[in-house]
Amino acid sequence: MRPDPLQFLSDELENLKQQGLYRRLRVLEGEQTAHATFDHRSVVNLSSNNYLGLTTHPKLRQAALDAVQKYGAGSGSVRTIAGTMELHMELERRLATFKKVEAVVVFQSGFTANARTVSAILGKEDAIISDELNHASIIDGARLSRATIKVFPHKDVEAARKIMSELPAGQRKLLITDGVFSMDGDLGVLPDLCKAAEEFGAIMMVDDAHASGVFGANGRGTVDHFDCHGRVDIQVGTLSKAMGALGGYVAGTKNFIEFLYHRARPFLFSTSHPPAVAAACIAALDVLETEPQWMEKLWENTRFFKGGLQALGFNTGRSESPITPVIVGEAPKAMEMSDRLFQQGVFAQGIGFPTVARGQARLRTIVTSTHTREDLQYALDVFGKVGKELGVV
Ligand SMILES: Cc1ncc(COP(=O)(O)O)c(C=O)c1O
C-alpha cells in the first residue's frame, strides 16, 4: 500500500491534542437562537455572533423565502459576468445610504472583504501599519498584497505614528484597525488613529465586523459611534453577525468601489450571493432602521451579564462591547471550563492559541438581545459554580 503522504497532518493533530487545543465541532440542531440545542443538549448559547437575534427574525425569513420564490436558489455566476442581480445592486445602494458613504460593494464574506480589499489596493512598494490584534483576514490580506507589514502594539497610536514617521514620506501607507477587537471586545482608537493617518497622509481603514449593528446610530458602526465620518477612507462591515445572514461589504468613495469592481478578486472570480441572502440582508437593514429595541436590549443584556461576571470575580479583560472574554490563562483549563459549563447547560466556547496569545486562553461570551434575564442569570450561576470548582475565581 502507498504510504500516506499526509501522515504528517495526523502528527500535527496529535500535537494539538497534547496541548489541549484540539476541538470537536459542536453541532447545532435547529435554529441559531439564544437558547439552542447543540450536540443533543439544550443550552444557553453565549457563543454566536447573532447579536440582535436577526438569524430568525420574521422579516428576514420572509424576505429570504420570497426571494427564493421570485428569483430561485442561486445567482449562477460571478458578479462581473452574469451574477449581478437587481437585489445585489439594491443591497449595495441601501448599505451606502445607511453608512453615509458614496458607494458600497458586497462580498461573499467579511473575511474576503478584508483580505481582498487590502490586497487589491496595495502592492509591494507600499506599507501597511496594522494593530497587532487585527483580525486574521487583515493579516492575510496584508500578506497577499506583498506590501511591507509593520505591526504596532495593541492600540498604541504613538507607536503607529513612530512607524509612519520612519517610512519614506512618498510611500503609500495604509493604517488599519479593527473597530471592535473580536477576542477582547475592546474598541479601536479611531479618532486618534484618524488624526495620525491625516498627519502622515495614510489611507485609513477600519474593520467594523463586530460593530455592524452594535455600535453607532442604528448600528452604523464605530465610525458613526466616534463621529469619524469623512475621516475613514475604507470601512469594512459584515452581514454575517448582527445582520443575521452572510457576507461582507466595503464602504467608501465611488471611485474606490468602482476600482474594487474591477480588481477585487472574489468579485471577479467567485459566484455572488444567492438571492435569498441578498434579500435577507436588505430586510436586516429595514430592521436596523425601524426596530431600535433590539439594540437597546442588546446593550441592557450586555451591562447585566458583564457586570455579573465581574461581580463574580472573573477577569473580563478590557471589553467595551457585548463580547466579554473570561480569561483563564492556559488552554487546557479554558477547554475544561467550557466543557463543564456545557454539561450544565451553558455554551461558552473555549479559545486558545493561535486565535489568542499563549497564556491568554479564554472563554468568549457574547450576549444577544434575545437572551432573557433568566437565561443570563442561569449562565452567571453556572459560571460562578464552575469557576470556583476550577479555581478560576
Ligand atoms: C474582526 C473580524 N473581521 C472580519 C471577520 C470576518 O467576517 P465574516 O464572518 O463575515 O467572514 C470576523 C469574523 O469572525 C471578525 O471577527
Q: Which of 57, 88, 241, 306 is labelled catalytic?
A: 241
Alpha carbons 14 and 59: distance in angstroms, whole number: 46
Q: Enumerate the β-bridge partners of residue 29.
A: 37
| Nearest ligand 1 atom, CA 178 | 1
Pull the grid cell for residue 220: 452604523
Q: Give the strand pairing for 323-329 and 361-366.
A: antiparallel
Cα distance between residue 264 and residue 248, in whole Å: 13
Q: Compute CA 122 distance to the chain's CA centroid, rounded to the nearest angstrom.
A: 23
Our answer on whether the CB atom of 109 is closer than 6 Å to any ligand 1 atom is yes
Whether 182 is catalytic is yes
Index of the ligand 1 atom closest to the CA of residue 238: 10
Reading the block at residue 288, the C-alpha cell is 436596523
Q: Is 75 in the pocket of ligand 1 (CB under 6 A)?
A: no
d(CA 338, CA 331): 10
Q: Which of 201, 211, 136 is nearest to 172 (CA)?
A: 201
pTM, two decimals, is 0.96
Catalytic residue among 173, 210, 225, 273: 210
* 14: helix, strand or coil: helix
Is residue 46 within 8 A of residue 365, CB to CB? The reply is yes
Closest atom of ligand 1 to CA, residue 246: 10
| Lookup result for grid cell 445610504 | 97
Cell numbers for 170:
512618498
Residue of 47, 109, 182, 338 marked active site: 182
Is 207's C-beta closer than 6 angstroms to any atom of ligand 1? Answer: yes
Q: What is the pLDDT along the chain (393 residues), one digit of tens a residue?
A: 899 999 999 999 999 888 877 888 999 999 999 999 999 999 999 999 999 999 999 999 999 999 999 999 999 999 999 999 999 999 999 999 999 999 999 999 999 999 999 999 999 999 999 999 999 999 999 999 999 999 999 999 999 999 999 999 999 999 999 999 999 999 999 999 999 999 999 999 999 999 999 999 999 999 999 999 999 999 999 999 999 999 999 999 999 999 999 999 999 999 999 999 999 999 999 999 999 999 999 999 999 999 999 999 999 999 999 999 999 999 999 999 999 999 999 999 999 988 899 999 999 999 999 999 999 999 999 999 999 999 999
* Integer Cα distance of 280 and 282 in angstroms: 5
Compute, in angstroms, the gap from residue 232 CA to the centroid of ligand 1.
19
Of residues 172, 243, 167, 256, the one with CA closest to residue 211: 243
Angle subtended by helix axes 86-99 and 275-290, to nearest 10 = 30
